[in-house]
Structure 1
Amino acid sequence: MVEQIYTVSFSAMGSRCEVRLAAADAAVARHLAMRAIEEVRRIEHKYSRYRNDSVVARINAAAGLRRVRCDQETAALLAYADTLHASSEQRFDITSGVLRKAWDFRLAVLPRPEVLAGLLPLVGWHRVEFDDESVFLPQQGMELDFGGFGKEYAVDRAAEMLTIMGVTQGYVNLGGDMRFIGPRPDGAAWEIGIQDPRDMSATVAGIPMERGALATSGDYERFIELDGRRYCHVLNPRSGMPVSYWRSVSVVAPLAITAGSCTTTAMLLERDGLDFLERADVRYLAIDYEGRIFRRT
């Protein structure tokens, strides 16, 4: 008997999310999905910058004062952040989240130059001291922010939970960052539309997915427009200003954390982003500031 597809929707990490899977009935589907959702919640609570009791809050509160002990999971994420920093010409920097204090994308106002100038000295992953047991931010006011890959990490962990429980068909979707466990019950691929970054009611392409991950970064997610220019939420850690070369970058990779890191790195590298994606040997679809589409299938 071919199982039916069930969708369990929820909200997490500021995004609309869903677990979609094949199961014998709705009760079984919800039971399986809830285990995956619990894992997403665990990661959100542990690493959210908005919670005073999170690991990130504890590390940030100790900036300039003392080292903070880390468990194995946190140490692994710090090591991954270090790898991203090195492979992105130091553009992917998880200390750059402090720049959000200058930018409010709910208001069409640019930050004052003196505000940015005061925050830029707090950006610099190369200054962070860490090992397998602890981490230290050397200057008060410095912050870590795992937002650059935390959602994608949660996608992977949720998908792995479902796999452990025997799910073989379905996917996890956290705000557009997706990890696929297997095809539809009839063996067909899931057809995923890629958002047109200038027309929210349209797509520019469809990507068939059976397994692996798909992630997209774009200048249409959070932005303001002033005098005909768009300022998006992806910020260059050196200048504190938004990047502007790519409208969107979508990447297919084995893991969501890899796909998401590649999209963000390509956005940050701007004109050199395409060369980075080629070196990373991933499938991609990228749309530049003129609307030209580049893809590798």
Structure 2
Amino acid sequence: MRLLTYILFCFLTMGVFGQETEYVTSTKTLKLMGTRFDITVVAINQDIGQINIDEATAEIRRIEALISSWNPDSETSLINKNAGIHPVKVSLELFKLIGKANQISQITDGAFDISYASMDEIWKFDGSMKRKPTDAELEKSIAKIGYQKIIMNENDQTVFLKEKGMKISFGAIGKGYAADKAKELLISKQVVGGIINAAGDLTTWGTRPDGEKWLIGIANPLSKEKIFSWLPIVESSVATSGNYEKFVVFDGIKYSHIIDPRTGYPATGMNSVSIFAKSAAFCDALATAVFIMGKEAGLARINQLPDTEAILVDSDNKIHKSSGILFETTP
């Protein structure tokens, strides 16, 4: 459900961090979790930097093995296979991640829901659709969706999907979570700064080698080359959901690939949503949810959350922002 965002970041390739030690940036682009990851670290030399990047890469692959619903041997696949049959004991890490996902479902009134994977694939965004699905088809498609049907037993550390055919997937939170965990690992190894960009789910720590803040540019979703604001990011994360490429049009209405799990209908009215918060996983999930919730409900909810901000671009290409975003401009 997620699309590579048009969030850009810049950094200096070499500089001085502090007054005594010279630092450089090491960067590597890889395909992980089926998408593009750009990993940048600040290190005392390129060799150490590449070692750090390899460590982050191994951590991302570990997360993928844990949460992938495509891997038949993963804990997630085991939960899905036993839907409607019996609970499955899982690792504490996966148990906590599912709990975090359900909490986000609660605060977004179900606009974010990892059980969306239960939905029948009746919407196609490859050019093959000739008509909208009927109401009956949509109702049948979403029948097994509902985070309330994900039963968690804290004492036994088990997860149970109540109905046969139910599935969970971490497509709208997994990349952000992997970026968070890789960042956490590198910080534990005293890596002084860096950026992990998981196809637009981006998290930073420390500063550039010259001591300056990392900057990200928010781009106009209808004009990829035009940036309407550069924002400093300090020990924080950002994620964007957008409808730039995957969509269909029926009766003059544009339907994006981001589908509301409560109705089965694609979200309308938004071009992009960027969320700023500490956790990339939280940003990842909220970007999808706010895109679905829409301008009014989405911004109202963001303004209720501590240390969380948003920039929205609606279908008329007008910018809307939460109370903590200070710039004044239009794309």
TM superposition score category, shorter chain reference: over 0.9
Taking the TM superposition and a 5 Å limit, the aligned residue runs for 1:1-297 are 1-99=21-119, 101-109=121-129, 110=131, 112-113=133-134, 114-132=136-154, 133-220=157-244, 222-226=246-250, 228-270=252-294, 271-281=296-306, 282-295=308-321, 296-297=324-325
Structure 2 residue runs of 5 or longer lacking an equivalent are 1-20, 326-331
Deviations 1:132-159 (A, max 9, x none): 2111112111111111211111110000
Q: Which amino acid aligns with 2:256?
A: C
Task: State the alpha-carbon separation in 2 of the partners of residues 284 and 98 from structure 1.
Answer: 29
Structure 1 residue runs of 5 or longer lacking an equivalent are none
Instruction: Report how far residue 255 of structure 1 moved.
Output: 1.4
User: What SS does the corresponding residue of 1:3 show, helix, strand or coil?
Assistant: strand
Task: State the alpha-carbon separation in 1 of the partners of residues 58 and 251 from structure 2.
Answer: 44
Instruction: Report how far residue 211 of structure 1 moved.
Output: 1.7
Q: Which amino acid aligns with 1:274?
A: L
Deviations 1:120-177 (A, max 9, x none): 1111111221122111112111111111211111110000111011111211111011
Deviations 1:75-112 (A, max 9, x none): 10121122112111122211112226223322351563
Higher helix share: 1
Deviations 1:230-258 (A, max 9, x none): 22222111210111122111122111122
For normalisation by structure 1, the TM-score amounts to: 0.93
Task: State the alpha-carbon separation in 1 of the partners of residues 120 and 171 from structure 2.
Answer: 12
**Identity fraction in percent:** 29
Instruction: Report how far residue 278 of structure 1 moved.
Output: 0.8
- Check 1:257–1:242 CA distance in 2 against 1; reply closer, same or farther (3 A cut): same
Q: Which amino acid aligns with 1:279?
A: Q
User: What SS does the corresponding residue of 2:187 show, helix, strand or coil?
Assistant: helix
On the 8 A contact 1:108/1:224 being kept in 2, the answer is: no
Instruction: Report how far residue 228 of structure 1 moved.
Output: 4.2
Q: Which amino acid aligns with 2:90?
A: C
User: What SS does the corresponding residue of 1:279 show, helix, strand or coil?
Assistant: coil
Instruction: Report how far residue 195 of structure 1 moved.
Output: 2.8
Task: State the alpha-carbon separation in 1 of the partners of residues 117 and 223 from structure 2.
Answer: 28
For normalisation by structure 2, the TM-score amounts to: 0.84
Q: Which amino acid aligns with 1:118?
A: K
On the 8 A contact 1:2/1:186 being kept in 2, the answer is: no
Moved more, 162-171 or 257-266: 257-266
Q: Which amino acid aligns with 2:312?
A: A
- Check 1:221–1:40 CA distance in 2 against 1; reply closer, same or farther (3 A cut): farther
On the 8 A contact 1:181/1:212 being kept in 2, the answer is: yes
Task: State the alpha-carbon separation in 2 of the partners of residues 254 and 194 from structure 1.
Answer: 18
Q: How many residues are treated as equivalent by the alignment? A: 297
On the 8 A contact 1:243/1:268 being kept in 2, the answer is: yes
Task: State the alpha-carbon separation in 1 of the partners of residues 219 and 252 from structure 2.
Answer: 21
Cα RMSD (Å): 1.8
User: What SS does the corresponding residue of 2:53 show, helix, strand or coil?
Assistant: helix
